[in-house]
Structure 1
């Protein structure tokens, strides 16, 4: 597939009244500072008929007037603290085309071909980039990239919904909550949990990488479709004899299953320890609750750990229990301990976010990281002719980085993207649907 770029320009916010000052800025919160310093790319596909690019562009301009952060730039204040400059510099808008028809089995699959459907993620000053690619059959693919320091998946998905509302001539609703100064430390601070080696590491910390024969070039991404029927059976098995009257969630059950299946497929030594890193949204966990419309990052991570021999010899409820307890422990007290630690300890101890080291890591072996987009309204991006029939992350060959998405079918089924070494993929395919 050869994609031809027709135009590339900056699109700036459209304000119906007097435009706000371009001298304003927003300080990054402690949650923004600790997350990944990189762009994240996603792909949408739409069947014809599709609206013209002009309507999509105008809707983007209107949405940027409400979500001003995306049209700004990252910078520093007078004290050297990171900020978002609300300078209306704009976002990158690319119009492209290809002379072939869209075949989702060939073009929209987890492979490097996806990289031609959105702008490059390297050396980007814009905080959002959009590429509209038109296919000869009338189909349209929208590649969207956004800088993670500005917003997490929850907030970004709401911006995308607002973009679609603006394209359809609707008022943007709900409106975003922009105040990032609400996370005040306690006086005196309480450091109830250890955050060194978790969210933060010392600048001199050296990660120990696994001694394995494979390289990044050996990583392939595999997509699995789990039906609602299979997930129901999996949930029942994971919840059997779990010691409570409440079943584990579908998410906990599926991740427990994947953790065991991937660990087995990798062939890891039984005495090694493997862990799963899970994003935990603080909006509903902090007391008082933070509005769900909060625009920014509000995520910390839970870590479930196990010896490989225990993970594989014990039944599924063992893994599900570890995951459930790890996520439950990232509660209001944990979030508030992190806020106090980030405000009082990080500078004095010369600490840096652990995510800085993780950003350039391409092999997570023997660990996993799970990004769940199951509760985000990504499928609600409707430019005026209906929602997408495909939504997925772009190709990101990080071994062990798993994405969970609701299937566009809307029947409760889930699509999972699993990047693994090629030599481990055959075994994983053989056991990924096994309930044994």
Structure 2
């Protein structure tokens, strides 16, 4: 950012739910909660003035949390040592920080990835709360909401529903739809059976053999990693990329294939070096019968497109998009059911997701998440101001790629890419090349 961001914290409070004189309710973590990475996911929402007062926004948050109590819970273990959420009982709560920024919002627009964005959030390291909110009021009256939610509680679909509901509460509109907590779909087969290879892909093996799945655990100084935002217009996606693939694949599949090829080139991978994308897939509609979109919690898993650097370079965009499409298609209802059965078979084991065991450099892996079909752009606190920016906050994890809908007219897709600085410079130069 050109203008330095001077943020001053004015107050810090905890919104508590539940009666401290009662015992908390234990809610077991599902296999999909246990699979989610053990970190807070941080996003920023920027609104132009005028916006409601902080007091009205916090009051709406309190009303909303009554319907989303898991976000005010605590992570813990039940009497059998199994991971669970401790809901109510006076513990937990949501941290709400109010801050002011000495500059105007316009001085920082368009918002671009920068370590300065971390100033707009409470610190998440060793955070005592699963949901942390910071209301950043700019000199012009503009507002940036910094929100960090622990991934063990909810996935993107659930968090977007929560944010839309929060906006409804602030505007005095009944929350609709309400979240669903029914877990009747979480039903293992009799007997349960794992038909797919989850060890080494989704979870670390319980007893690794001969370092077969040992993590490469690449670590570098976080300052060597940077985040860049690549913008792809609707015209470029349709007129250039989809023309290359004869419009056989979705926007996400086509653009992911393109970005995969460019990242592979920017990293300098060559020949037979294998590269994999870890693609987040929503499992709700893949199960039979499907799970409601309004289910609150985690119900995502991964697809794993694989290729060699040489094939990506020589095969062109259409071949890469085919690899992506087929891998996502293989993440079927049967695959989701296999994960459900895995949770039943190993419910008492200390399962360790592959996430978080790899250090902060994923290369040659790419970790891709799509936020294109979520409802983040529908968040509206009212007051007359408009959503003018939405993006993930700075993440020093090489190989992370997040697809975000462009805010405003014209459409298109913003792609946040986290890479080593030298590779990011190359990617910026070649990001829109069709070769």
TM-score of the aligned structures, taking structure 1 as reference length: 0.92
Aligned-pair CA distance for 1:181: 5.4
User: SS at the partner of 2:162?
Assistant: helix
Instruction: Tell me what 2:400 maps to.
Output: 401
Residue 3, structure 1, aligned to residue 1, structure 2: no
State which drifts further: 161-170 or 403-412: 403-412
User: SS at the partner of 1:66?
Assistant: coil
- Structure 2 CA distance for aligned equivalents of residues 106 and 423 of structure 1: 25
Conservation of the 8 A alpha-carbon contact between 1:276 and 1:304: yes
Instruction: Tell me what 2:253 maps to.
Output: 252
CA RMSD across the alignment: 2.2
Matches within 5 A, 1:2-401: 2-13=6-17, 23-87=24-88, 88=90, 89-103=92-106, 105=108, 108-180=111-183, 182-202=185-205, 206-209=214-217, 215-240=221-246, 247-345=248-346, 347=348, 351-358=351-358, 361-385=359-383, 386-401=385-400
1:82-107 Cα deviation digits (max 9, x unpaired): 11111154200101012222246468
- Structure 2 CA distance for aligned equivalents of residues 127 and 307 of structure 1: 39
Aligned-pair CA distance for 1:283: 0.6
1:391-433 Cα deviation digits (max 9, x unpaired): 1000002111011100012433111111222212232122111
Unaligned runs of 5+ in 2: none
User: SS at the partner of 2:56?
Assistant: helix
Conservation of the 8 A alpha-carbon contact between 1:5 and 1:94: yes
Conservation of the 8 A alpha-carbon contact between 1:365 and 1:400: yes
User: SS at the partner of 2:305?
Assistant: strand
Aligned-pair CA distance for 1:156: 0.5
1:36-74 Cα deviation digits (max 9, x unpaired): 111111011111111100100000000000101111111
Cα 1:234–1:339 shift into 2, 3 Å: farther
- Structure 2 CA distance for aligned equivalents of residues 180 and 129 of structure 1: 26
- Structure 1 CA distance for aligned equivalents of residues 347 and 336 of structure 2: 15
Instruction: Tell me what 1:243 maps to.
Output: none
User: SS at the partner of 1:4?
Assistant: strand
1:131-189 Cα deviation digits (max 9, x unpaired): 01111121111100101000000001000000000001111100101134531211012
Instruction: Tell me what 1:419 maps to.
Output: 418
Aligned-pair CA distance for 1:377: 0.8
- Structure 2 CA distance for aligned equivalents of residues 363 and 314 of structure 1: 26
User: SS at the partner of 1:10?
Assistant: strand
- Structure 2 CA distance for aligned equivalents of residues 102 and 404 of structure 1: 24
User: SS at the partner of 1:434?
Assistant: coil
Cα 1:427–1:356 shift into 2, 3 Å: closer
- Structure 1 CA distance for aligned equivalents of residues 111 and 117 of structure 2: 7
Unaligned runs of 5+ in 1: 241-245
Aligned-pair CA distance for 1:234: 3.7
Conservation of the 8 A alpha-carbon contact between 1:29 and 1:180: no
Cα 1:59–1:112 shift into 2, 3 Å: same
User: SS at the partner of 1:427?
Assistant: helix
Cα 1:181–1:77 shift into 2, 3 Å: farther
TM-score of the aligned structures, taking structure 2 as reference length: 0.92
- Structure 2 CA distance for aligned equivalents of residues 410 and 282 of structure 1: 30
